[in-house]
Amino acid sequence: MAPTSLVVTIEKNLMEINGSDSLLLPEKQKAASPKQLTWVLLLKAHRALFFFSWFAITVKTLFASVKKRIAHADVNEEGSKSRGKLYRFIKAFLAISIAGLIVELVAHFKKWNLRMIHPLELEVHGLLQWFYVSWLSFRVDYIAPLVLMLSKFCIVLFMIQSLDRLVLCVGCFWIKFKKIKPIIQDDAYDLEDASTFPMVLVQIPMCNEREVYAQSIAAACELDWPRNRILIQVLDDSDDGNLQRLIKEEVLSWNEKGVNIVYRHRLIRTGYKAGNLKSAMACDYVKDYEFVAILDADFQPNPDFLKLTVPHFKGNPQLGLVQARWAFVNRDENLLTRLQNINLCFHFEVEQQVNGAFLNFFGFNGTAGVWRTEALEESGGWLERTTVEDMDIAVRAHLKGWKFIFLNDVKVLCELPESYEAYKKQQHRWHSGPMQLFRLCLPSIITSKISIWKKTNLIFLFFLLRKLILPFYSFTLFCVILPLTMFIPEAELPLWVICYIPVFMSLLNILPSPKSFPFLIPYLLFENTMSVTKFNAMVSGLFQLGSSYEWIVTKKTGRSSESDFLAFAERESKTTNEEKILRRHSESGLQLLSKLNQQEKQMGSKKKRNKVYRKELALAFLLLTASARSLLSAHGVHFYFLLFQGLSFLVVGFDLIGEQMN
């Protein structure tokens, strides 16, 4: 009998074996030895063990950090402010969303169709499913149309605002392409004859600026301008007697060196910065000065600041303001300052520059600018009616026909807020004040004698579109409607609304600061996170709520960068015929400074407390709940957006961004 036949067919990597006898494979195709297999399994087990141990340690560290943050957080102040209608709305929305998620989880495990558009197509089995089908029917007939209408309205606003931003970017590109710049007349001033220079008053308003008062006074005193044609006013609103004496001594030391500098302190401190400036302008000697330069306490202009700004007024009698750009010494300090730098670079290089070049109008930034004294007086001077006195005086000057110039190439060093608490308070003031001003200025704008185009620009572009519509649609669309549509799939937002257009607009925002490109996604998420603060501020300013009148001086650190030291070294290396001015502190001054430092250390445990922001945390859990619902229906990009946006709110809510306090 013939032996059992054996047929082996090999095609590429496929092998077909027929037969019952043993088969001797070629040497190269032998299976791995047990020892090799053991080593492979041990290696994979080691990698898996390392990953899980790393993940466990990371989660443990994160939860420990959050637990510690909550235990040491100061929730009383934030909590009292959060008990408003917006916070109650977010909490109610969150509770409904959690209840809706539970219902949808039941529907998911019951294998009901979560995307069912026509609920009558479902075959009802049992009372629970009947309730679910009834909810679907009610949702389709009554809730979805309202959500669709609101979402379409917000999308229209979103597209209008995006178009406005795109036009601004095109205008900025045109300025760079055509190299459009404000030009100084060649014969503006005779450098050999100091008498041809106009009289300039430099004002430094400050309030409890212990960290930066010395460097700001020094920078102003080192301005390259004839000594007999300049006067520096130090407008101190500090309420600490020791700090007042330190500032007085600093002023005296510069005065002894021949600098025309005076110290002013108000006994009745009303009106915040506007009241301070108004009081200073009431001095009799102010009428002798043709121009007023304003520098906040943390601003350090280069010595040539006045020579780069004041000459623009020569031969231009309608020019009322010359505004310089801000530059930040701490822009790379942490993630918060990097994100702020993106925003402000776009504001100055695109918004301010384009509006200044094509409209001769923009909002005064409150500092690093030079005003014609006549323009201030004709516009009514500084008023204390809002928390944005700089925007107020700019609008009133524009209504009087004065023109503005923005100098993108002239930069003045300053600081960015390094803690989220300071940044949030600053943004609240910057977004509530314009709405106060809009209510007050609207009748004046309508009845003014400026052209219809300028009135339209002021009302619809300057105020409504950029100050009201932007925070409204950002919060409503991405923090309310988007999570709501996860439970109402009939009104689901298209992908281009939540992904393509926002990413493109964020890319445009980053163009003025190209080094910030790696922070594109964090910037997009953070801007949506800040929308709750901006929306709340906008509403409080529009309806004159109590929080709209808050004014808290932004905390300064007195931080200096390498560029500061280089600029200072250049200033010191310049040879002049005048005696070099050296700042100094007497022994009594050093004692006062030491005393202030000790007071700060004693109060540090009370002041330097991280906060827990309840509105942000509530929105974080709301978005994470919506992302869980999105995961059930496999929404894809919607899920990832909601997940990362929720995590962004969570980070901000626990105050884990910016300067970390002990």
Short-list 294, 264, 286, CA closest to 377:
286
Are 384 and 270 in contact by the 8 Å Cβ rule? The answer is yes
Query: d(Cα 244, Cα 223) in Å, to the nearest integer?
Result: 24
Question: What b/e readout covers 284-318, taking b as 16+ CB neighbours within 10 angstroms?
Answer: eebeebebbbbbbbbbbbbeebbbbbbbbbeeeee
Dihedrals φ, ψ of 294, to 5°?
-115, 125
Q: Is 390 a catalytic residue?
A: yes
Q: Strand, coil or helix: what is 264? A: strand
Q: Could you give the count of Cα atoms lying within 13 Å of 206 in the half-sphere of its Cβ?
A: 29
By the 10 Å C-beta count (0-12 exposed, 13-18 middle, 19+ buried), 631 is classed as middle
Query: d(Cα 532, Cα 508) in Å, to the nearest integer?
Result: 23
**DSSP type of residue 457:** I
- Per the structure block, which two tokens stand in for 16? 């077909």
Would you mind telling me the total number of residues written for the chain in this entry? 662
438 to 365, 385, 464: CA distances (angstroms): 17, 12, 9
Are 271 and 278 in contact by the 8 Å Cβ rule? The answer is yes
- Out of 236, 237, 296, 655, pick the active-site residue: 237
Short-list 304, 540, 544, 334, CA closest to 422:
334
Q: Strand, coil or helix: what is 23? A: coil
Paired with 325 in beta bridges are 411
- Other C-beta atoms lying within 10 Å of the C-beta of residue 491: 20
Query: d(Cα 234, Cα 236) in Å, to the nearest integer?
Result: 6
Are 557 and 415 in contact by the 8 Å Cβ rule? The answer is yes
- Out of 298, 390, 392, 655, pick the active-site residue: 390
Paired with 119 in beta bridges are none
The side-by-side arrangement of strands in the sheet containing 261-265 is 261-265, 230-236, 200-206, 291-294, 369-372, 319-328, 403-414
Are 369 and 321 in contact by the 8 Å Cβ rule? The answer is yes
Q: Is 237 a catalytic residue?
A: yes
Which residue numbers are catalytic?
A: 237, 390
